Structure 1
C-alpha cells in the first residue's frame, strides 16, 4: 500500500509574509514527488477533511509573528478535543478533529511555522520570511526523508 503525504501551505499571499506557507507549498509541488501532494490555500476549510482522511502524514505550513526570536518552529499536532467548537474555525487541529469525526481517521500531522515581520498588503516576502522559508524547506525535507525511511523499514519487515 502506497503511503502518502499532504503538505498544506496556507495564508494570504497578498499580505506579504503571510503568504510564506503558500510559497513553500508551491515550491514543494514543483518537486513533483510521487507520494507528496502539496496544496497552497488561502485558509483551511472543511472540504480539506476528505483528502486528509486518505493521507498518512500531513504537514501544515503557516506564517507566525516572531515570539522568541526568528526560528522556524515544528510541532506535532493532535486533533482538537472539542470537535463541535472547532468546526467553524480554520486551524490545523480543528481540521484534524473534523477529519477524525467525519471519516474515523486522520493522519499523523506536523505544523511548521515561519516567522514573518511584514503582514502589510504586498506580494513579496521580507528577508526574514525568505530565510525562514529556506530553513523550513530543509526541515520539511528532513521530515519527508525520515518518514520515507520509516515506511521502507516497515515494508521490508512485512
Structure 2
C-alpha cells in the first residue's frame, strides 16, 4: 500500500537562493506521482497542519547557510517539545507539534536543507544552489523509494 507523501518547499523565491525549497517542490510536482502532493509556500504556517495530519510522510525542503561544507543535509524530524509562540515564522518541528496537538497525530518527517550563498533580492539562484538542488532531488527520490517503493524510471531529475 502506497503512503501519502507531502513535499513542502518553503522560502522566499524573490531572495535568490532562499527560493530553493519552492524550486525543488515545483520540480517534484512536475513528476506527477499519484501519492505525492507538492506544496510551495513562503513560510510554514499553521494552516498546513490539517493537510499534514492526513499525510503519512512529510518532506520539508528549505535553503540554509553552508555550515562546515556545502553538503545537502537530510535529517529525520520529530515534533518539537513545545510549539513556537511565533507561529507565523514556524519551523518544521513546531508545525509537526501543532499538527499532533490539534489532530492527535502527525506524519513521519524529513528535513532536506540545501546550502545557498546568495540571499540578495533576485530570482536567480547561485551555482552552489543549482548543484545543491540536483543533489536534493536525488535524495528526495531515495526517500520516496525507501518509504513507498516508488520506482521513478526514465525521469529527468534536473
Q: What TM-score does the superposition give when structure 2 sets the normalisation length? A: 0.91
Structure 2 stretches lacking a partner, 5+ long:
151-158
Q: Equivalent residue of 1:96, what SS?
A: helix
Q: Equivalent residue of 1:13, what SS?
A: coil
* Structure with the largest fraction of helix: 1
Q: CA deviation at 1:120?
A: 0.1
Structure 1 stretches lacking a partner, 5+ long:
151-158
Structure 2 distance, partners of 1:123, 1:97, is 32
Q: Deviations over 1:22-56 (max 9, x none)?
A: 00000000111000000011000000000000000
Structure 2 distance, partners of 1:2, 1:71, is 30
Taking structure 1 as reference, are residues 44 and 84 closer, same or farther at Cα in structure 2, changes over 3 Å only?
closer
Single out whichever of 84-93 and 63-72 deviates more from structure 2.
84-93
Match of residue 156 from structure 2: none
Match of residue 147 from structure 1: 147
Taking structure 1 as reference, are residues 31 and 83 closer, same or farther at Cα in structure 2, changes over 3 Å only?
same
Match of residue 35 from structure 1: 35
Structure 2 distance, partners of 1:130, 1:14, is 16
Match of residue 121 from structure 2: 121
Superposed CA RMSD in Å reads 1.5
Match of residue 153 from structure 1: none
Structure of greater Rg: 1
- Whether the 8 Å contact between 2:84 and 2:90 is mirrored in structure 1 is no
Q: Equivalent residue of 2:46, what SS?
A: coil
